[in-house]
Amino acid sequence: MIIANQNTLNGEIRQWFLEQTLEKISAIEGVLEKGKSAGEFREDLKVRVAARIIFGSAMALSAAVIHENLSYEGDNLADDLMDLLLNGFCSKIRK
């Protein structure tokens, strides 16, 4: 295949990746909005920020598994990620 303009291809790939990313973040936002409405999450939860934190964390861990040979069994990685995101790092709530 002959590529006439590599910048055009790179732009198309970048656009596709952005669209895919925004689609996934939007899906996470929907889940968070439903949870917020049901009282499962804080009333003051910033859904857009939280969705990006979840997505970014999942991407970083995925990259570690792929590129750094980080070893995890089954769903343990997802469970550990969600535990930290939902329950935090501190032993008690700080104000």
N-term to C-term CA, the chain? 59
With beta carbons less than 8 A apart as the criterion, state whether 15 and 7 touch: no
User: Residue 24 pLDDT more than 50?
Assistant: yes
**pTM for the full model?**
0.75
pLDDT tier at 1, thresholds 50, 70, 90:
very low
